[in-house]
Amino acid sequence: MCIRNRDIVIIGLQPWYTKIGSNCKNIAQEFAKENRVLYVNVPLDRRTAMTEKNNPDISHHLQVVNGKEPSLVQLNENFWNLYPSRVLESINWLPSTSLFSVFNKLNNRRFAKSIQAAIRQLGFENIILFNDNDIFRGYHLKELLRPAVYVYYSRDYLLAVDYWKKHGEKIEPMHIAKADVGVANSLYLADRLKTYNPNSYYVGQGCDLNLFNPDKHYEMPTDITGISGTVIGYVGALTSLRLDIPLLEKMAQAKPQWKFVLVGHEDEAFRKSALHHLPNVYFTGGKPMHLLPAYIRHFDICINPQVVNDLTVGNYPLKVDEYLAMGKPVLATRTPTMELFRDHVYLAEDLSSYISQAEKALAENSDEKAAARRGFALSHTWENSAAAIYDAILSFEQPVKRGHLSEHC
């Protein structure tokens, strides 16, 4: 189903000008195909305004705060970007959540006033307010902005991060509970939302896979041309918070005839790991996004050796869709989210199953399996994810409003 001709206000954790990919930005663009959308940048807080004032994006936002630049910018016919004109207090350092909550309400009021001014300027009415995981700055906006529908979107387990855990352990469950609709991009996170709010739904994950096309010709990158034999590869950030270094070390030691190619920037734990002393492990360093398909093209198996912890257990690994879009066999750690991929991905729990599943993947690879993998990955579109969000919203607005708000897109 589709929602058309509505006014949608989006807040979240990433401003529109962020250079990295963002679920929220992709969802906003999908919404704007059929609706008017106001995308609200993260408001400045005093600490950021002081410490990052030389950052060009922060400097521009300060110009807005000082009245020297417009706060509302039209990006296309149906899409506006708001730089909130009020500065919030930096309060996460407060030791008491009760005291934090008092100042957080003050921050929410300032934030709401900036949004209300833009809503009036645009003539938005009957708004849908979509909150991309902003636990604190969005906590009171349902009461302050009085939207027709308030949607809380969970795409990461933020409480695994100390910054959010400090006050979020108490505040986020209450926030989820008062939302009209909860939506999540993984089954694990959707189940978590349902423990606090029964009107919660899994809405899938969209991906932009245009870059990953196995029918294109990709020259072998020069830094891996000398590597022969079976190549098992990974692309992405090499961080010990998310990846199982001991597993990789043991695999490489157990299978010296296999070559392990790791493409990405390393954290300190990776730089100090024994992987650098193994002759069949190769590090290429970080690479621009447009070069990644060339590496994947020349891998025999793509791997996502996640360590399972609070941070990773519920996340949706976009890289798996990128691997699959290239038709490659994929070997990954079994998690609740990865169960969605079980018909197209080889899942493992430990060293023994990782090795046996890798051997199985090599033995049964075929053109038919490659085509099925790509077809599965390409079904994960932002259009489908947005449609699932629309269905969740309409389930709240039923039965009175659904008839005249929804049409087939």
Q: Which helix (H) or strand (E) element contains residue 261?
A: strand 259-263
Average confidence (pLDDT) over 160-177: 96
The span from the CA of 285 to the CA of 243, in Å, is 16
Average confidence (pLDDT) over 104-118: 98
User: What is the predicted pLDDT for the residue at 409?
Assistant: 62
Report the percent of the chain where pLDDT is more than 70. 97
The span from the CA of 400 to the CA of 336, in Å, is 36
Q: Is the pLDDT confidence value at 400 over 70? A: no
Average confidence (pLDDT) over 346-356: 97
| Omega prior to 279 cis, within 30 of 0 | no
- pTM attached to this predicted model: 0.85
User: What is the predicted pLDDT for the residue at 402?
Assistant: 43
- 123 secondary structure, DSSP code: T
Return the CA Rg of the chain.
23
Higher pLDDT, 399 or 366: 366
**Three-state DSSP class for residue 126:** coil
* pLDDT bucket at 50, cuts 50 / 70 / 90: very high
* pLDDT bucket at 370, cuts 50 / 70 / 90: very high
User: What is the predicted pLDDT for the residue at 19?
Assistant: 81
The span from the CA of 285 to the CA of 264, in Å, is 5
Helices (H), 6-155: 23-31, 46-51, 56-65, 97-122, 141-145
Q: Is the pLDDT confidence value at 404 over 50? A: no
pLDDT digits (tens, 9 = 90+) for 196-224: 999 999 999 998 898 999 999 999 999 99
* pLDDT bucket at 336, cuts 50 / 70 / 90: confident
pLDDT digits (tens, 9 = 90+) for 275-321: 999 999 999 999 999 999 999 999 999 999 999 988 888 888 889 99
Average confidence (pLDDT) over 336-353: 94
